[in-house]
Structures are given as C-alpha cells and as structure tokens.
Amino acid sequence: METQLQKALDELRLRILEMAALAEKAVDKALRAAFSRDVQLAEEVIEGDCNVNELQCAVDEKCLLLLALDQPVARDLRFILGCTYIATNLERVGDQAVNIAELALLLAQRPEMPHNPFMEELAETAKAMLHQAVTAFTKEDTVLAQSVCEMDARADTLDLKILKHYVDYMIQESRAVERAVHLIIMSQNLERIGDLSTNIAENLIFIVKGVDIRQTCRPY
C-alpha cells in the first residue's frame, strides 16, 4: 500500500513528465517550423508555451506544499528539490523553443538562406540531449544522464562552428547580415537547450545518487 507521500511524489513525477513531453514537443515543432518555414507551426509553439509555464507553477506549488507538510528526508527530499530545478529548466527549454519559433516567424518572411548542415546537426544534438535527459529522468538512469553531460561539448563546438560559418558568410554577403544574425541567435538558443538538458540530467544524478556534479561533469 503506497503512503500518502509516495502518492504525492508519484503525482509530482507525472507532472514533470507532462512538462517534459510538452517541452520536447515545443522544441521539435519550433525546429520543424524553422527548417520548413512553417508559420502556423511556429505560432502553435508560441501559443502553447503557457501550458508549460502553468505546469511549472503547479509543480512549484506542489513541491512547497510537500516540503512544508510532509517534511521529507533523504531521497524524497532530494527528489522534491530536484523536481523544482528540473521544472525550472524545462520551463526555460519551453522559452527557448518560443525564441526559436519567433526567429522562424521572422526568417519565414525573408528569402531562404542556404542549407547549413551544422545547424541541422546542432538541432539534432540539442533534441537528443533533451530527450536523453528526460528519458534518464523517466528511467532514473544515471548512466544515461552522465552521457547527456558528455554530449554538451559537441553542442558547444557546433555552436562555434555555426557562428564562424555565418560570420564568414556575412563578410561575403552583406545583404544576408540580418538573417545570419538571427540564425546565430537560433544556434545559441539551441546550445542553451543543450545546457538546460545537462542541468536536468545533473539534477537526476543528484536525486538518485545525492552527488552534485554540476561543476565537474565528471563521473561521481
């Protein structure tokens, strides 16, 4: 028979998963909107962000209530603290998706820029990092969480490569400066999604192992 606290923690976990599902979907939609110049999809992302925000408020309230009423200890306490952090990060992922969607709206009005494989790879990497972080949380898999931290280096490299690519491009084609700047911002948004995913994964490790690896990103 599960206790009241366990039930509440389960409920909390489910809310986080719901947030994660929404955030993942938002990122996916925003990127699809950006790559296929789909204005409608971009607007869907911008409108859908409030759901993630509402869920974050609900999670925060629930966490506070649990902390105050049940005075959990050890793993339960870490889980609740971790959940508030993860909810915050997921909410920010949602915001990044909105940023990307807004850029996609802007870019859809302008002529199309040449296809850039780095941007695609970065998008894939960021999506994969987020997905892995969420999967690690679902399965409480610290090994998977660790691998998210390791993927972050690739995202950073790609971000730099994209920056360099568009700086070179701007030198050649001054007409494309505005679009290139937007694309650089998009790349940074993606890189930020990678960072946020890393935070989520680190929090999962904190929940399961009680170890803080934020500064090192090294095996505990």
Partner 1 sequence: MARRLSFRARIFWSFLLIIVVALVLPAWYSQHLLGRELSRAARIGAEGQVALLAGQLEQDERLSDRQTLTAWLSHAATSLNVHLAYRSASGELLFDLAGPGARSASGGAPDGIVVSREVTPAGDLPAGSLTLTRSFEALSQDSVALVGNVLLGVLLTFLLAVPLCYLLSRQLAASLTGMASLAEAIGNGDYGRRLLALPGREFITLAGAINRMAESIQAQIETITAQKEQLEAVLDGMKEGVLVLDDTGRIRSFNRAMLAIFPGVAAAVGKKPLEAVMDASLQQACDKALASRESGGAKLHALQIEPEKGRIYDVGIVSLSHGHSGLGAVVVFHDISELKHLERVRRDFVANVSHELRTPLTSIKGYAETLMDTAGGDPAKARGFIEVILKNANHMSKIVGDLLNLSRLEAGKQLITPAPMDAAAALSAAYRECLPLAEAKAVSLDNRLPAEGLYVVADHDRLVQVFRNLIENAIKYSQSDCPIRVFHQVHGAEAWIGLSDCGPGIPKEERQKIFERFYRVERHRDKAPGSSGLGLAIVKHIVEKHGGRVWVESPAAGQETGATFFFSLPLAKRHENDTDVPQG
Q: Which stretch binds partner 1 (CB under 8 A): 22-30, 62-70, 101-109, 205-213?
A: 22-30
Per CB under 8 A, the list member of 4, 109, 117, 174 interacting with partner 1 is 117
**Cβ–Cβ under 8 Å, residues 33 and 77:** no
Task: Write down the least CB distance from residue 22 to partner 1, Å.
Answer: 5
Q: Which stretch binds partner 1 (CB under 8 A): 28-36, 64-72, 188-196, 203-211?
A: 28-36
**Cβ–Cβ under 8 Å, residues 14 and 29:** no
Which residues, other chains included, contact 140 with Cβ-Cβ below 8 Å and sequence gap of 6+? 204, 207, 208
For residue 71, the SS3 value is coil
Which single residue is written with the structure tokens 């979907």? 25
Task: Write down the least CB distance from residue 127 to partner 1, Å.
Answer: 10
What are the structure tokens assigned to 140, written together? Answer: 């409480």
Per CB under 8 A, the list member of 22, 27, 66, 158 interacting with partner 1 is 22
Residue 7 burial (CB < 10 Å; 0-12/13-18/19+)?
A: exposed
Please identify, using beta-carbon distances, which residue of 35 and 220 lies nearer to partner 1: 35
Contact status: 3 vs partner 1 (CB under 8 A): no
Q: Report d(CA 98, CA 52) in Å as an integer.
A: 11
**Cβ–Cβ under 8 Å, residues 26 and 71:** no
Per CB under 8 A, the list member of 27, 100, 101, 134 interacting with partner 1 is 134
Task: Write down the least CB distance from residue 162 to partner 1, Å.
Answer: 12
List residues near partner 1 by CB under 8 A. 14, 17-18, 20-22, 24-25, 28, 32, 35-36, 51, 111-112, 114-115, 117, 120, 124, 134, 138-139
